[in-house]
Amino acid sequence: MSRPQTRRKCRCCNKFFLPDPRTANRQRHCSMPACRLASKAASQRRWLGKNGNGDYFRGAAAVRRVQLWRQGHPDYWKPKASSSQGTQVVDEQSTNPGQSSCNVPRGLPGTLQDYCLAQDPAFVGLISMVTGSTLQEDIAATARQLLLRGRNILGFVLPETTQTTVEPPS
C-alpha cells in the first residue's frame, strides 16, 4: 500500500507532523510524549465505544460512576488477605485461601470467582451502557476483555493469584 507521504495535523497540539508510514492510517497524533498519551487515551475510548455509538462522554460518565462507586467500596477491589493489617473490617473470609477479592459465596470454582464482578447487575448495566448492547454474550465478551485488561494493569499473571500462594495449574 503506497501513498504519498502527507503531513497530518496532530489532534492534540495542532501541529503538523509526518505520520509513521506503518501506522499512517490510524495515526492522529504526533510523537510528542503528551500527544502520544492523548493518542493512547483516545484509542482506549474507541475501544470502549466500539460496539456502541462511540460516545466518549457517555463512556467517561460511566467511568466516573465506577470511580465514585469504588470510593464507596474501597474493600471490594483489594484482595482480602492484604487488608489484615489495615483498619478495614476483615471477616472470616480472609482466612479462606481460595477467596479472592470478590464478594462471592465460598466454594465457587476459580473461574466463577473470576467473573463474579461480571455477574454484578450494576457492572452488567455499566457494560451495557458503555457498549450500547443489551445482549448477554456481548456483555460477557466485553467483561472478559475488561478483566484481562484490568489484570494486566494490576500485574496479575493468573486469575487466582492473590496474596495467598496458589500453585499455578500446569
Binding site for Zn ion (CB under 5 A): 10, 12-13, 30, 32, 35
Minimum distance of Zn ion from residue 101's CB (angstroms)? 39
Q: Report the run of H or E that residue 16 belongs to, with start and end.
A: strand 16-17
Q: How far is CA 159 from CA 68, 77, 167, in A?
A: 25, 14, 12
Minimum distance of Zn ion from residue 60's CB (angstroms)? 21
| Minimum CB distance to Zn ion smaller for 34 or for 61 | 34
Residue 127, Cα to own-chain centre: how many angstroms?
A: 11
Minimum distance of Zn ion from residue 34's CB (angstroms)? 7
Q: How many CA atoms lie within 13 A of 81 on its CB side?
A: 13
* Nearest-10 crossing angle of helices 33-48, 56-72: 90
| Minimum CB distance to Zn ion smaller for 10 or for 81 | 10
The three cell numbers locating residue 137: 454474550
Look-up: residue for cell 473470609?
Answer: 93
- State the Cα–Cα distance between residues 46 and 49, nearest whole angstrom: 5
Minimum distance of Zn ion from residue 21's CB (angstroms)? 18
| Minimum CB distance to Zn ion smaller for 37 or for 68 | 37
DSSP one-letter string for 90-150 = --GGGG-TT--SS---TT--HHHHHTTGGGSHHHHHHHHHHH----HHHHHHHHHHHHHHH
| Minimum CB distance to Zn ion smaller for 34 or for 135 | 34
Minimum distance of Zn ion from residue 49's CB (angstroms)? 22
| Minimum CB distance to Zn ion smaller for 12 or for 117 | 12
